[in-house]
Structure 1
Amino acid sequence: MSDNPVAIEIRHIVKEFGSGDRLVRVLHGIDAEIRSGELTYLVGESGSGKTTLISIIAGILFPTEGGVTVFGKDIYSLSDNDLVRFRLDTIGFIFQQYNLIPTLTAAENAGVPLVAAGMGRSEATKRGRDMLEKLNIADQADKLPKQLSGGQQQRVAIARALVHEPRLVVCDEPTAALDAKSGRRVMDLLREVALVQDRAVIIVTHDNRIFDLADRILVMEDGRITHDGKEMPDH
């Protein structure tokens, strides 16, 4: 186990959906620690509970039982308003659906979290453009989402997740829409973000082209963590 400080502490997380005869338990008492300065992968078959778990870690979905501490804050003890503010300030999200705003340019979309945090629109857009440059798509900065390819939209979504320099970045299949070279570039950037002592990156992925970049791989099966190590287990 690494000596890096714990960024996220997951304590006995249970998640159930439905009620009565239709009650389904998706997560079965998960305990884990995510360390700062590391790239942690969450790997498993569809339906194993990965997206549910990262949604709970990110403060989007309340657990049925258990708690999550993110950089020392017990997030489910916060008021609704404080939790929203904490997410805005601390967490960057990269989901499979890009959720770009169709009427905003790529640079404006990338700057959205800064506007939400109170920054003026022109400064936020400038910083969005700077982040697009890091992702090698500055030439697309003034285009609307419908004018971009799927891979370009994905990179705009990644720029948006990173623009406010969040301490925790949560990614759901960030390389799914990308060719091998673009996927590698995105992972290199995420790695650059992750390898800072007071930050952490969690990536849900099926993409075995990038497994070698992980510092740690957690494998989920049927709502439980069945493997925790530097490499994928041999089956």
Structure 2
Amino acid sequence: MDRIAQRAQDRAGGGVPVSNVALAAPVDAATAIATRGVVRDFTAGQQTIRVLHGIDLDIRAGELTYLVGESGSGKTTLISIMCGILWPTEGEVRLFGTDIYKLSDNELVDFRLRNVGFIFQQYNLIPAIDAASNAAVPLIAQGVDRGEARARAIELLAALNIADQADKLPSQLSGGQQQRVAIARALVHQPRLIVCDEPTAALDARSGRRVMDLLREVALADDRSVIIVTHDNRIFDLADRILVLEDGRITHDGRDLPKDH
């Protein structure tokens, strides 16, 4: 069930309205994301499956946070809820102090457009436009002049060492080049939260390190935060914090992975 359907079900009495769940603890001004009691259920036929079990979590601005877990542990569901893509069945999410699920659908879309950058595992580039135009999409959606948006996008492509690919269509790019275009698109509008799903999976070690250095530079800004879903042990040393999710619950929160991972 997608976020809009879940929201409609909640309003119809099929779930616990998010507005009825209060924050269990105060939120620090430096907190980028605060979740309290976040539950997410999915319905499969007559069966209800609980994917997240009451997640309480604070992620501070300026942190580079890794989210690690086996397939099916709830990682994608959790990051989708934290940035306003999926509606929680129960619980509350505040993003930079805003209770995002009390916003209207249009307000939420606008808030997400201005504050969140996404790097998807499948890239999700628009096939009919070139690399620079793909990277400029968030700026154009905000009403920035197309020429200016494209120029700013090319600056980021240069930082990612693919400015020479700016005029090529996605079909003319390698997987690693497409990934870097997707990263430029996520950064171009200078969002306060960047959410990445395996951003180095298609990259060689050198390119992956370059990407992570750029993301870390962004994360170190006092008013921004980066969350990365990854299994790439080549980059674990760059994390400020590693969260392990198992069966919809946070089982580890620390600077390093536990020894059994």
- The TM-score range, normalised by the shorter chain, is over 0.9
Aligned with residue 161 of structure 2, among 136, 139, 143: 136
Are 2:151 and 1:126 equivalent residues in the alignment? yes
Q: Deviations over 1:56-92 (max 9, x none)?
A: 0110000000011000100000011110000000000
The secondary structure found in structure 1 opposite 2:161 is coil
Q: Which residue of 2 aligns with 1:169?
A: 194
8 Å contact from structure 1 (residues 37, 196) kept in 2: yes
Shift of 1:20: 7.1
Aligned with residue 88 of structure 2, among 63, 83, 87: 63
- 1:87-106 maps to which residues of 2 (within 5 A)? 87-106=112-131
Q: Which residue of 2 aligns with 1:83?
A: 108
Distance in 2, Cα, partners of 1:190 & 1:149: 21
8 Å contact from structure 1 (residues 4, 36) kept in 2: no
User: What is the one-letter code of the residue matched to 1:187?
Assistant: M
Moved more, 122-131 or 62-71: 122-131
The secondary structure found in structure 2 opposite 1:18 is strand
Are 2:212 and 1:190 equivalent residues in the alignment? no
Distance in 1, Cα, partners of 2:217 & 2:66: 15
8 Å contact from structure 1 (residues 110, 157) kept in 2: yes
Moved more, 115-124 or 166-175: 115-124
TM-score (structure 2 length as normaliser): 0.87
8 Å contact from structure 1 (residues 4, 37) kept in 2: no
Are 2:239 and 1:214 equivalent residues in the alignment? yes
Equivalent pairs: percent with the same residue? 73
The secondary structure found in structure 2 opposite 1:27 is strand
Quick check: which has more Rg, 1 or 2? 2
Distance in 2, Cα, partners of 1:156 & 1:29: 35
User: What is the one-letter code of the residue matched to 2:42?
Assistant: F
User: What is the one-letter code of the residue matched to 2:255?
Assistant: K
Q: Where does the alignment leave 5 or more consecutive residues of structure 1 unmatched?
A: none
Q: Which residue of 1 aligns with 2:55?
A: 30
The secondary structure found in structure 1 opposite 2:129 is coil
User: What is the one-letter code of the residue matched to 1:31?
Assistant: D
Q: Which residue of 2 aligns with 1:151?
A: 176
The secondary structure found in structure 1 opposite 2:58 is strand
Q: Deviations over 1:173-223 (max 9, x none)?
A: 101111111111100000000000000000000111111100000000000
Moved more, 8-17 or 117-126: 117-126
Distance in 1, Cα, partners of 2:63 & 2:105: 29
Distance in 2, Cα, partners of 1:103 & 1:95: 18
Q: Deviations over 1:146-186 (max 9, x none)?
A: 11000000000000000000000000110111111111110
Distance in 2, Cα, partners of 1:183 & 1:12: 35
Q: Which residue of 2 aligns with 1:10?
A: 35
Distance in 2, Cα, partners of 1:135 & 1:4: 32
Q: Deviations over 1:87-138 (max 9, x none)?
A: 0000000010111111111111100000000112111111111110111111
Aligned with residue 181 of structure 1, among 193, 198, 206: 206
Distance in 1, Cα, partners of 2:148 & 2:47: 50
Shift of 1:19: 6.2
C-alpha distance 169-42 of structure 1, shift in aligned 2 (>3 A):
same
Runs of 4+ in 1 over 3 A off after TM superposition: none
